[in-house]
Amino acid sequence: MAATHSEYRAYLRNTVDIEAGQHRFHPVQSSESTYRPLLFGTLAVMGLLQVASSVAILLHLTGYLQEVDLSTTPHRPIEEVQTEPVLNALKDPRKVRRCKTKENLPSAHLPIRARQDLSKKIEEAINIEWDEVHGNLRRMDYQKGRLMVKESGFYYVYSKTCFRYYKIVGAEDSSQVEIPQVEVSNAQLIQYVFHVSIKQNSKPTLLMKVGSTMRWNDTSYNMYCAQQGRGVYLVEGDALFVNVSNAWMLDQEAEGTYFGAIKLGN
């Protein structure tokens, strides 16, 4: 029993021993001093990473802004790169051939030939002569009032004729062209466009007709214009011509009376 009590007392420590025993925790302070540099190093690395990421973002944004400026500001290298496909397209022989083909499409525009003696035939329709010298002919021919087709295809044919009449009261000039004595209060002014087909043994067929019956005053100035146009397929060797009734009243001005055709395609 006494031994047990002495062992118990030996087990227990006094206050001095307990205070002295606090020195056992000193190694913990040494561990904190070890972790502190590691913590600072980690924070430093994180800071460097953050700075590096900020610099990378800044460089990215700077490069993006520079790219936008290059796209909006003309620079010679970029112009050369962008124009290269266009230059290659222009050098394409097929496209060049297509442009040349459009520019060289057959066409014709002929004004009326001035100073024609049209006062002899009044009632019947007569063929109009056109001025090929002051007109335009491209890959088409003209022969004695007829427009000749040299290339088959689909054409747009048009014609315009203007009629005018006025009586000069008291004119005694002998050089004045004699005006036929006709009843202009009921004058039929009609324009005919004929198509001569080589496949039909050059037999003329009426392609278009337009006109009106005018009730004019024989003492005042009167004018009437007839204009028409349509598409038609023409074959090489075909011909076109225009007839008008009362041709002696035709306005022989190039702006008022003309005839033409242009090829639209095959």
How far apart are alpha carbons 203 and 210 in whole angstroms? 21
> How confident is the model over 116-173, as pLDDT tens digits?
777 555 667 889 999 999 999 999 999 999 999 999 999 999 999 999 988 765 554 4
Whether residue 240 has pLDDT greater than 70 = yes
How far apart are alpha carbons 191 and 209 in whole angstroms? 6
* pTM reported for the whole predicted model: 0.58
> How confident is the model over 67-94, as pLDDT tens digits?
444 444 454 444 443 445 444 544 555 5
The structure tokens listed for 6 are 């002495």
How far apart are alpha carbons 247 and 123 in whole angstroms? 9
The closest of 164, 158, 168 to 208, measured between CA atoms, is: 158
Report the CATH fold assignment for 106-170+182-265: Jelly Rolls (2.60.120)
Answer yes or no: are the C-beta atoms of 260 and 110 closer than 8 Å.
yes
Selected residue with higher pLDDT from 64 and 168: 168
Domain ranges for the chain: 2-71, 106-170+182-265
Answer yes or no: are the C-beta atoms of 246 and 187 closer than 8 Å.
yes
